[in-house]
Amino acid sequence: MKLIASLTSPFARKVRVVLAEKKIDCPLELDLPWEAGSRVAEFNPLGKVPVLLLDDGSALFDSRVIVEYLDSISPVARLFPQERRQLIEARRWEALADGICDAAANIVIEQRRPPALQSADWINRQHDKVIRGLAALAHDLGERNWCCADSYGIADISVGCCLGYLDFRFADLDWRTLHPNLASLALRLQQRASFSDTLPPA
């Protein structure tokens, strides 16, 4: 196997965290899809990372497909609940966290356009998604230590990578003050080697 990824992508980080938690050794090939010379589109027609290249030459994308595959190939540290209703709940957490990342990334991409071409309405719409998403995460977490089924798993990994991406791209967004329970969750996750070893570059 080989993982094609960017070090700044929260979706690629989610896969890297899962690889670490599952103790799966997988070479990493860095590729930035927006740069000339990128080969990502050869493996993912959508031109997005991460992409997991399998030994038979096939490719898996996006991150949700990849992490579920990784959890299925190794019994070490199962990250997806086995009970059906808990599995659906975990996937809902993952979808919400990924959606926040999508909205945040849309802001980053828009702000890279020439100022005269940027849409303030578009940026505000994406910002509102982030704010509402964070409020929903905090509400659903409540006073629990972990997001789903009272145990660490893919829901926590997804939320942790989401919060880390907001720290990386939106340092002025003070979500910790607004949602101290999310801040406590982030602190617990940062103490895990899988998270501390996959921080985006400064």
Is 55 found in the same domain as 11? yes
- Tokens found for residue 101: 């990342």
Whether residue 197 lies inside any domain: the answer is: no
Residue type (1 letter), 181: N
Is 116 found in the same domain as 41? no
Query: Please, what is the end-to-end C-alpha distance for the chain in angstroms?
Result: 28
Q: What is the domain-level CATH number for residue 102? A: 1.20.1050.10
pLDDT at 202: 82
Question: d(Cα 25, Cα 12) in Å, to the nearest integer?
Answer: 15
Give the mean pLDDT of 167-196: 98
Query: To which H or E segment does residue 59 belong?
Result: strand 59-60
Is 21 found in the same domain as 41? yes
Using pLDDT thresholds of 50, 70 and 90, give the confidence band for residue 136. very high
Is 170 found in the same domain as 114? yes
pLDDT (tens digit, 9 = 90+) per residue, 59-71? 999 999 999 999 9
pLDDT (tens digit, 9 = 90+) per residue, 15-29? 999 999 999 999 999
Is 167 found in the same domain as 109? yes
pLDDT at 93: 98
Give the mean pLDDT of 59-87: 96
Whether residue 79 lies inside any domain: the answer is: no
Cβ–Cβ under 8 Å, residues 90 and 80: yes
Q: What is the domain-level CATH number for residue 52? A: 3.40.30.10
Cβ–Cβ under 8 Å, residues 34 and 9: no
Is 174 found in the same domain as 98? yes
Is 88 found in the same domain as 68? no
Number of domains in the chain: 2
Q: b or e along 125-153 (b: 16 or more beta carbons within 10 Å of the residue's beta carbon)?
A: ebbebbeebbeebbebbeeeebbbbeebb
User: With a threshold of 0.95, does the pTM exceed it?
Assistant: yes
Give the mean pLDDT of 99-114: 98
Domain span at residue 134 reads 84-192
